Amino acid sequence: MPNEEVTLAHLQDSFSETYPRYTKNEATVEANRCLYCFDAPCITACPTSIDVPTFIRQIANDNLLGAATTILESNLIGHSCGRVCPVDELCVGACVLGAEHRPIAIGRLQRYATDHVFETGASVFEPAPATGKRVAVVGAGPAGLSTAGELAKRGIEATVFERSELPGGLSTYGIVVLREPTNVSLEEVEFIKSLGAKVRTGVEVGVDVTHQELMNEYDAVVIAAGTGPVPPLGVPGEELEGVIEALPFIAATKIADKDGREGLLNIPVGNEVIVVGAGNTAVDAATVAKRLGAERVTMLYRRSRAEMTAYDFEVDFVRGEGVDIRLLTQPIEILGENGKVTGVRCVRMRLGLPDESGRRRPEPVPGSEFVLPADQVIKAIGQEKLSALFSGFGVESIAGYVKVDEELRTSNPKVFAAGDCVRLTGQALTVTAAEDGKIAARAIARQLGVPEPAKRPGATRGRFLHGTTNDIRSVHG
């Protein structure tokens, strides 16, 4: 049971965004620090190529509508990305001021701009004339929403089918509230709908609507369904009460956040919590457990820090929360009494020779078994793939991921796929899902004979202009 000293007021505080919105003064000072580099590395580092220096300059000039437009014309999921992007790995990591002084807080500035237009409801894009073309999108997460919005910008009617009650995918259910409040995700869905896309929730493809119906009724289908449930750990004791999956645990806090956070008081959390896994979801689950009132939270990972997929900033953050990360530790049995978890039997590991993935293979150290007490075990060891959904559309897959070409077209030319379900290699990020949506929509439009929308004047303003019409060379030849 959670710590009895945990009150609603405490939870309200603990589940507020870690980085509050900049004040106008903060935003202006930070924006004016930007050098406004030409062909800036932050643009290249952004998977969606947001023209970062331009939107920052627009913030400096108090043109927040312009700033938000600059962001959203490159990335319709920019409202989420400003919060959830691993910016230190992307734009902020590329900022030239990082070497000189301190990089620009690009994510927070992005959020400042999008918050403004989402709050004022200012209109960012003119609706495109309808082409009569229709596309079905499976999954209302960032990839599906980006695809649908990008299609809508081209006058193609997109209908998004979402199995869950709420749209938004991981933004709504999976990103810890401290980084993205649930309403931010839901606002983003409304924005995509305002472009002309339709979103139907509580509709599961293969159950409520057949694959064939979608194939027959639409000009193209996009699979943007993400990944499936957590696979079993494969150790004895997994059925015990108190063994849960990370994503539903995080999702419960997201739902509570949407409804005023009172629900946070009712989420079951242990006092001694063990999180199995060391990816970003594991970090989020550990953070949530700690903030809900768990006294001790321990993450278990069978390899070393070098192999952990969680980002440095997340590991630093979770350690700051007081979470213990036990590396080279593998659970081998979940112990229980009266059907309830009481502990986890672990074995220490060491790294042997590299395996087929090139990473050194962890091996148990004989005789090193020990027991960690626990009253809750949270599984965060990756997700299973949605093979049944894919095969329903008759598309090929590789290692559980949908097989796609460069334009995200599957083995069936009428079917495209985007987001985590195609992320065989590379990082499964909100921002890469957003970029997938752009790629898929462009390819679908081309396939359906729909012309690309006219570029706004100066759309490549922050970079070299290519394809200019006049052959006038510099005076130096």
Partner 1 sequence: MADLTTNFAGVKSPNPFWLASAPPTNSAYQINKAFEYGWGGAVWKTIGDPVLNVCNRYGQFQYGGNRLIAINNVELISDRPIEVNLKEIREIKKLWPDRAVIVSAMVSSNEQAWKTVVQQIEDTGADAIELNYGCPHGMSERGMGAAVGQVPEYCEMITGWVTSAASIPVIVKLTPNVTNIVPPAHAALNAGANGISLINTINSIAGVDVDNFEIFPNVGGKGSHGGYAGPAVRPIALHMLSAIASDAKYQSQPVPISGMGGVETWRDAAEFLLLGATSIQVCTAVMHYGFRIIHELCDGLSNWLDEKGATSIEQVIGGSVPRISAYGDFDLSFRSVATIDEDKCIQCNLCYVACDEGAHQCIDLTADGVRIDPATYDGSATLQPVVREEDCVGCDLCSLVCPVDACITMVERPAKFPTVTWNELVRNRPDVTTDWDAMVAYRKEIGIEIH
- Per the CB < 8 A criterion, the answer to whether 215 and 221 are in contact is yes
Q: Is 411 in the site for partner 1 (CB under 8 A)?
A: no
User: Which span sits near partner 1 by CB under 8 A: 21-29, 156-164, 266-274, 321-329?
Assistant: 21-29
Piece in contact with partner 1 (CB under 8 A), picked from 92-100, 401-409, 440-448, 453-461: 453-461
> 71 CB contacts (<8 Å, ≥6 apart)?
50, 55, 78, 82, 110, 113, 114
Can you tell me the distance from the alpha carbon of 336 to that of 170, in angstroms, rounded to the nearest whole number? 32
**Binding to partner 1 by residue 63, rule CB under 8 A?**
yes
Query: Is residue 277 within 8 Å of residue 246, measured between CB atoms?
Result: yes
The verdict on 473 binding partner 1 (CB under 8 A) reads yes
Q: If binding is defined by CB under 8 A, does position 24 make contact with partner 1?
A: yes
If the CB atoms of residues 39 and 241 are measured against partner 1, the closer one turns out to be 39
Nearer to partner 1, 61 or 183 (CB): 61
54 binds partner 1 (CB under 8 A): yes
- Which of the stretches 55-63, 128-136, 208-216, 279-287 binds partner 1 when contact is defined by CB under 8 A? 55-63
Nearest approach in angstroms of CB 19 to partner 1 is 20
Residue whose tokens read 């003119």: 126
Q: How many chain residues touch partner 1 (CB under 8 A)?
A: 27
The most distant pair of C-alpha atoms in the chain lies apart, rounded to whole Å, by 86
Site for partner 1 in 230-249 (CB under 8 A): none
Q: Is 185 in the site for partner 1 (CB under 8 A)?
A: no
Tell me how far CA of residue 96 lies from CA of 27, 53, 64, 82, 235, in angstroms.
19, 12, 24, 19, 48
CB atoms within 10 A of CB 213: 12
- 56 or 246, CB closer to partner 1? 56
183 binds partner 1, rule: CB under 8 A: no
In the list 16, 17, 36, 360, the residue contacting partner 1 (rule: CB under 8 A) is: 36
Contact flag: residue 102 with partner 1 (CB under 8 A): no
User: Which of 23, 183, 387, 391 lies at the binding interface for partner 1 (CB under 8 A)?
Assistant: 23
Question: To 10 degrees, what angle do helices 246-258 and 280-292 make?
Answer: 60
Using CA atoms, how far apart are residues 452 and 449, in angstroms rounded to an integer?
9
3-state DSSP of 178-233: CCCCHHHHHHHHHHHHHCCCEEEECCCECCCECHHHHHHHCCEEEECCCCCCCCCC
Listing DSSP states for 47-63 in one string gives: TT---HHHHHHHHHTT-
Q: Which of 6, 65, 97, 240 binds partner 1 (CB under 8 A)?
A: 65
User: If binding is defined by CB under 8 A, does position 468 make contact with partner 1?
Assistant: yes
* Residues at the contact surface with partner 1, assessed by CB under 8 A: 23-25, 36, 38, 54, 57-58, 60-63, 65-66, 69, 457-458, 461-462, 465, 468-470, 472-475
